[in-house]
Structure 1
């Protein structure tokens, strides 16, 4: 059985808006949402008022709005992140009831945490949940949130960036989706991230921080390290690529920057691993067929 997968996408179209209206008119979906009627009316008015195919700017007023896609590129819900000083509040809805019970809510929380802490640089993430919404309460608790306050009808949960980073690293060893980087690669990649615009490669920063760090002389020979060459199956196409630093990138020669979507996606994985990774327009299904060359295995520690 495939692991649950969610990707959060910032572009909001008129088609998405119609999905949102449908979800917000479903009594089962909005049962615990206090402002669902208001939001539904706002969306309907926006569609009538603005005759544009892309409505992203309207949904990002006062916060960041993301459609939640499954691995088949079908929208199944949404996440809203609302900053307030150094805090950020998360609102999460899985609107497609056919997808309830598949742990997509927990996946959406994890993607929202990544955005809040790595891209938006929040110090603390907050979730305010109706006391009777047991499914949501349990999903946030499983992802490290702790109860901060409560009333008979509302519970407020928080997660600090410090706790998030610690859990990210602690989980690496037990995560079936673990990746590996060498100490040398980690140091160079951290320098690279520090020199880039603050949020432009937050996905790469997340991968570096969640990786299991190993000595360059002991890394397994079938792991994709920096400057490795790998044979990939990208959707239905086989592709041979080198994973390189940005200054060495050349798409025509198959040299993929680690800052590119596919480059970030394959970093640290090993032969036989399969990855679903959302790029700008679609979810890519990637399998590492073979590591053809790895500098460490060849004794080329200077690369």
Structure 2
């Protein structure tokens, strides 16, 4: 994998709140956060006042809040997305200082953009950064943000949805290898995306937007297309599965919907490819070991 894997997860527990307070007491973390004191006080008051194990709804007041997890499912930071009209401001912090310098910031920015544009339907994403925060400036610029305005104390950078989609299609926004989707599959999957809503839809839309589209007659025989049967390895467990549309799914028979975690993950990959993916709130390594059957390679173009 060329880029480090991170995932954004919405559930916030009391344990997360305590981790956040620890991060916000670190001067290295809060140096460029203008409202770190207010945030820290809010968290402390919330933990002391609310005797509930899950605090998600409190952190989502006025925006959407996510914990950032690394490949080992350890919380390393947080993201806040605040949408006002067509614009969405992104604030992110890698709070675990020991994980700095591992390019987690850029991967987190890309995950935040996925949610802002494909889920929240923002037209523009804004990042406001102190000019001395060179690490963040480089991270956002490296992900394609452009400088809009600058003052001695604040630089405002932005990215439009059109630019995001262009970069996604060029492969600049993906954390993993190229994938391939046939013209017929893309048309059907796009109709599915337009009809469905939810987190699974966002992941599927992201994958088909970034996919290299090929003629069904030209797709390589070891690519996982719709209705393919595949032997894959999920961590240490080997599985024989078929990738199908939701109406044909039957998990007990190994027929995985393309909207399922594993189904979306394997779409378009080739034999030998391995990807990290969140499956039921846990990061798993998925390897495509063998494409047993692919409709296009045997002329079953009606499937």
**Shorter-chain TM-score above 0.5:** yes
Asked whether the equivalents of residues 21 and 43 of structure 1 are also in contact (C-alpha less than 8 Å), the reply is yes
CA distance in 2, matches of 1:252, 1:176: 29
Alignment of 1:6-17 (within 5 A): 6-17=6-17
Aligned to 1:238: 238
Tell me the distance in 2 between the aligned counterparts of 1:246 and 1:175. Answer: 26
Distance in 1 between the 2:283 and 2:170 partners?
28
Q: Is the 8 A contact 1:222 1:291 kept in 2?
A: yes
Question: Does residue 1:155 correspond to 2:155, yes or no?
Answer: yes
Contact 1:77 1:95 in 2 (8 A): yes
Q: CA deviation at 1:197?
A: 3.1
Task: Check the 8 A contact 1:11/1:54 in 2, yes or no.
Answer: yes
Alignment of 1:9-88 (within 5 A): 9-88=9-88
Q: Is the 8 A contact 1:9 1:67 kept in 2?
A: yes
Distance 1:173 1:207 in 2: 11
Q: Check conservation: 1:232, 1:240, Cα contact below 8 A.
A: yes
Contact 2:277/2:284 (8 A) holds in 1: yes
* 1:299–1:172 CA distance, 2 compared to 1 (3 A): farther
2:170 counterpart of 1:170: yes
The number of residue pairs the alignment matches comes to 303
Q: Unpaired segments of 5 or more residues in structure 2?
A: none
Q: Measure, in 1, the Cα distance between the counterparts of 2:39 and 2:25.
A: 10
- Please list the CA deviations of residues 235-290 of structure 1 after superposition, one character each: whole Å capped at 9, or x if unmatched: 11101100000111000100000011110011001111111111342112111111
**Structure 1 gap segments, 5+ residues each:** none
Which residue is 1:186 aligned to?
Answer: 186
Alpha carbons 1:172, 1:211 under 8 Å: kept: no
What CA distance in whole angstroms lies between the structure 1 residues aligned with 2:11 and 2:226? 32
What displacement does 1:195 show?
Answer: 1.6
Which secondary structure state, in structure 2, belongs to the residue aligned with residue 139 of structure 1? helix
